Structure formats: structure tokens, C-alpha cells
Structure 1
Amino acid sequence: MMGPMEVVTTGRVREAVPPAATDLVGALFVAEAARLVSLARFFVDDRTAAEDLVQEAFIRLARSSHRIRDEDRAAAYLRSIVINLARDHNRRGLVSLRHRPPAVPDEPSAEETASVRESRREVVEALRALPRRQRDCVALRYYLELGIDEIASTLGVSPNSVKTHLTRGLRSLAAQLEERR
């Protein structure tokens, strides 16, 4: 411990973070990190990349934690950072995919091996094929089990927009999965 202020090194600048911000980020890490890595895996194929995205999200949250007025909304803010970082990662990846060999699949853990089934793989592939907003809404609603208002807050859209995207996304998922059978 460095005294009343933690120092966070972000690569270029060493920034002082107030203790309250450190406590908030630490509490969110304990409560949300594993779920956020799982969420990021819906958007990126590589587990290591998903873990890196979540780590970067926590660094960004720590840097901007002084701007958070409502600590109850910090988790939604953190989820939106992860989703945006995953989008950026995929955008950059589209260009580099043309110039590199395919990634070696992750080695599944014992827990993943026990729970992975063909149907789950099909659902994830169908989810990834959805348009961006539909995919975001469906993943947040049915994977993280967030309410409509929490999803709206995370994505910065209205609750009615979330409901519309959910309805369309579920309809599209059902059609895609029916085609595969």
C-alpha cells in the first residue's frame, strides 16, 4: 500500500487514484470480473483477449472513477466499457484476420469441458450472427440476467429500444436454430 493514494500505471502516465475509487474498483472486480470475462467471450473468440479486454475495462474505470456520481451504476458503466472494447477489438481484428493464420482454439478448463455441448455452440454461433444491438441485448438479458432498465443503462438506449431488440433478436435466433436442425 502506498499511503492515502494508490498509483496506477497505465503505460504512459502514472495516475493517483483516491482510496474510495480503489475500493469501488476492487469491489466491482470481486463481484463482476468472472462474469465480464464470460460476457467478453461472446464477442471475441480468444479467452486471453477476453481477459485482456476486461483488465483494460477495469483500468479505464479506475482512471475515470472520479467522474462516477452513482456507484450503483458503476457496474453498468463497466459492462458498457467491456462491450465497446470487444467491438473495437473485433473491428481491428477484421483487418488483421486477412494477414494471419487462424487462432489456435483455447484449451477448455474442466468446468467448460463438462458444460459444453453441441447445442450451446450452435446458440453462441447464432448469437454472434445477430446484428450488434440485438446481440448485445440478448447477451446481457439472458446470459448476465440483467433487467431491461439495466440493459438500457449499459447500452445507453431507451428501455423500449431494448425490448424491440430483444424481440427481434429472439425471433432471429429461433429462426437460425430451426434452420440448423
Structure 2
Amino acid sequence: MAEHDRRGEVRPAADEAIAELYAAHWTGLVRLAWLLLRDDLAAEEVVQDAFIAVHRRWDTIREHQAAAAYLRRSVVNGARSGLRHRGVEERYVARQQAEPTAYARHTEVSAEERALQSETTTSMIGALRRLPQRQREVLTMRYYLDLSEAEIADALGISAGSVKAHAHRGLATLRDRMEAAS
């Protein structure tokens, strides 16, 4: 059932709108979260949390067309939070074992991961992982989600010029690393 906003325009009800957003964006958002987190369950959880937040705040979102951008921003922020939490876990485990170890979450190989493995080489993913976080986020959103510079800027809360700079630096670093590896 549709509602009317302050200007009298028809606005979809929260449940209906979230169902449409879910159908249109779930897969891409999970892919984005997975590329940032490299963990199936954590990626799905981050995306679920983003949809819950949009549903909860639906009445305060002025333009319902902006909800997709809000979802992307929420997923990126949730992934950042997940990475920070993982870092805390890794430091805790390392202290408990009194030797430096890399604590990695192991999950079953998903269909998305198998598809990514067939599209990219292990060395490219390794080189991408070694990029600074912002460059990695920009390149991931640009080449795996096919987002425009404006959409990336909106999702990351930075200017379009910063997106260009991060993309340029990240690509130059990847090119150098891939040439050195071959």
C-alpha cells in the first residue's frame, strides 16, 4: 500500500519498498560486502543489517530513490566495522596464543567465490588486498559493481575527485605489482 509524503507525492510503504529494493540490490550488495570482508556469512549479515536499517528509517528517508545509495553506504560502513572487529579478534587470539598468527575465518566456497576465482587470478586478488583500504574499496565498487564515480563518492562519503585519485593510484600500484609478478 502506498503512502503520501509531505509534498503529497505517492511514496511506497516501507515493506513494499524494501521488498523491491531487496529484489533489485541484494545480490550486488552481498557481492560488495564479500569482496570487502572475504567472508560469506559476515557479508550476508552486513547486508541484512543495512536492509533492516533502511526499513527502520524509511519514514525519515526524504527521497526513496536515495535508498539504494543509503544501502551501499551502510554496507561499506558495516564491512569496515566487521574488519575492525576482525582485527580485534586477531589481536586477542595472538595474545592468547603468545605467538603471532593470522586468524582467518574459513567458510565454504560459495558460488560467487568460484565465479570470482574463474574471473580473476589469485595474484590479482592478493595484489588488491595489499592496497590501502580506500583504494581497494574504490576499485571494488568500480570494477565489480560497475558503479559510477558519483555513486562511489556517495557510498564512501568522499568527493568524485578523491574517487578518481584513489582509482588512479590503486590501478597504478596493481599494474606495477602484476608486472613484477610476471
State if a TM-score over 0.5 links the two structures.
yes
RMSD over aligned Cα atoms: 2.5
CA distance in 1, matches of 2:71, 2:150: 15
Shift in alpha-carbon separation, 1:128–1:67, aligned structure 2, 3 A:
farther
Count of aligned pairs: 166
Tell me, yes or no, if structure 1 residue 147 matches structure 2 residue 148. yes
2:49 is paired with a residue whose SS is helix
Question: Are 1:42 and 1:124, in contact at CA under 8 Å, matched by a contact in 2?
Answer: no
When normalised by structure 2's length, the TM-score is: 0.80
> C-alpha deviations, 1:35-61, integer Å up to 9, x for none?
111111111122111111111111111
Deviation at 1:93, TM superposition (A): 1.0
- Give the aligned residue type for 1:108: V
Range moving further from structure 2, 77-86 or 97-106: 97-106
Runs of 5+ consecutive residues of structure 1 not aligned to the other structure: 5-17
CA distance in 2, matches of 1:175, 1:94: 28
CA distance in 1, matches of 2:21, 2:68: 7
CA distance in 1, matches of 2:168, 2:55: 35
Correspondence list, 1:1-181, <5 A:
20-100=13-93, 102-103=103-104, 105-109=106-110, 112-113=113-114, 116-117=117-118, 119-181=120-182
- Give the aligned residue type for 2:126: E
Aligned to 1:15: none
Shift in alpha-carbon separation, 1:128–1:66, aligned structure 2, 3 A:
farther
Runs of 5+ consecutive residues of structure 2 not aligned to the other structure: 3-10, 94-101
